[in-house]
Amino acid sequence: MTAISLPTSATIRKLAPGVLLSLAVAVASYLAAPLLKSLTGGRVALPDMVIALIIGIALHSVVMTPRFEPGMTFCVKKLLRWAIGLLGLRIALGDIIGLGLGVALLVVAAMIITVASALWLAKVLDRDAGFGALAGAANAVCGASATLATATVVPDYKRKSADIAFTVVMANAISTVVMLAYPPLCLWLGYDERLTGIMLGATIHDMAQVVGAGYAVSDSVGNTAVIVKLFRVFLLLPMVLAIGWWFLRSGAQTGEAKVPVPVFALVFLALCVLNSLMVASPGLAAATGYPVIKGLLGEASKWGLLIAIAALGLGTSLTSILTIGWRHMAVFMGATLVILLVVIAGLRIVT
């Protein structure tokens, strides 16, 4: 049996400055999000993840020193994986089964085609394949979380940090736009509440915008949209593993992706199964205090992702972001258009 190695005091001292700095940026962004919304009368509302990224990038030139770098790297490489693993608690298999086989197959097909199209667009527009994978996953799965998860299996390349930051910002910006645009589009297409919910849940990038768009129409639409979106989140694990496998097959070096199933993936799957069992057994869940534990672990996942993206921002140069041209935008927008068209076409077939 392999013993679990605990970090030494020297390791803790080495990591502490960068981890604490990333935590400070995460806390600042968490406090700034509602303050910004209040000061602007609700006209400007940015998620704390985006604010953390912006603050981090703004501080990059000041803090990017050998003192902070090890802790920031730990947050992006290690803490991120733990936080992603805990996302499995958001999934209940029973809700996914209730979608029906046709809808499930449509969502899977749309996701695969979206990632493939982003990789193809990146190649055509002379962008790195790694960026194509990041943009494809952000559109296909769940925006910022999928971008960060995919970054763990994408090979390192010169502009990787800048591409991750760009993808996270784009996912939030476009998700906000489509949150407002897609409900009227569903009305124009003549969709009923069920179809509207499926369309919103299958195409909008981030969960927050799915909730905003769906429940703005009706509770029924919101419920359906959230279930479809959770199915996409459930597919985060196989999607990330498939992308890592694709890079390995093409001969790229993907670090930990050489391990067929990373530990965070096993945690994600195990917690998904556990959550499904507890949802199906409310008495057992109440007796074991599962709702409280789930809430605590959910908060831990949220803060893990927030700290990781703060560390990512701190390690990203603004100059590298500003040099990103129209081709990056075209790859991301192209993937957004692809998933929309595939879902609209697919709904005509499965309904």
Q: What whole-number distance in Å separates Cα of residue 307 and Cα of residue 54?
A: 13
User: What are all long-range contacts of 288-297, with beta carbons under 8 Å and residues at least 24 apart?
Assistant: 294/89, 297/86, 297/89, 297/271
Report pTM. 0.68
Provide the residue ranges of all domains of the chain, joining segments of one domain with +: 85-304+318-350
What's the burial of 285, exposed, middle or buried (CB within 10 Å: 0-12/13-18/19+)? middle
Cα 335 from Cα 332, distance rounded (Å): 5
Q: Which amino acid would we find at residue 148?
A: L
Q: What is the pLDDT of residue 153?
A: 86
Within 10 Å of residue 288's Cβ, how many Cβ atoms?
12
pLDDT digits (tens), the chain, 351 positions: 344 455 678 888 889 999 999 999 999 999 998 898 888 877 777 778 778 878 988 898 887 788 898 999 888 778 877 887 787 787 777 777 777 889 989 999 999 999 999 999 999 998 999 999 999 999 998 887 788 888 888 888 888 888 888 898 888 778 878 877 898 999 999 999 989 999 999 999 877 678 667 877 887 788 788 788 878 887 888 888 889 888 887 665 544 444 345 566 678 778 888 988 998 888 888 989 999 999 999 899 889 888 987 887 888 777 766 666 788 889 999 999 999 999 999 999 887
Q: Where are the alpha helices (DSSP H) in 64-159?
A: 69-74, 80-86, 93-97, 101-124, 129-137, 143-151
> Do residues 136 and 339 lie in contact, with contact meaning Cβ atoms separated by under 8 Å?
no
Taking alpha carbons only, the member of 216, 33, 241 closest to residue 141 is 241
C-alpha angle 28/87/152, rounded to 5°?
Answer: 80
Residue 10 buriedness (CB in 10 A; 0-12 / 13-18 / 19+): exposed
CA geometry: angle 248, 252, 253, nearest 5 deg: 90
- In 3D space, the residue among 24, 149, 147 whose CA is nearest the CA of residue 83 turns out to be 149
Query: Hey, what are 43's tokens?
Result: 């006209």
Quickly list H helices, the chain: 9-39, 48-63, 69-74, 80-86, 93-97, 101-124, 129-137, 143-151, 160-189, 193-203, 207-217, 219-234, 236-249, 263-280, 282-288, 290-314, 318-322, 326-350
Q: Distance between CA 311 and CA 137 in Å, rounded?
A: 21
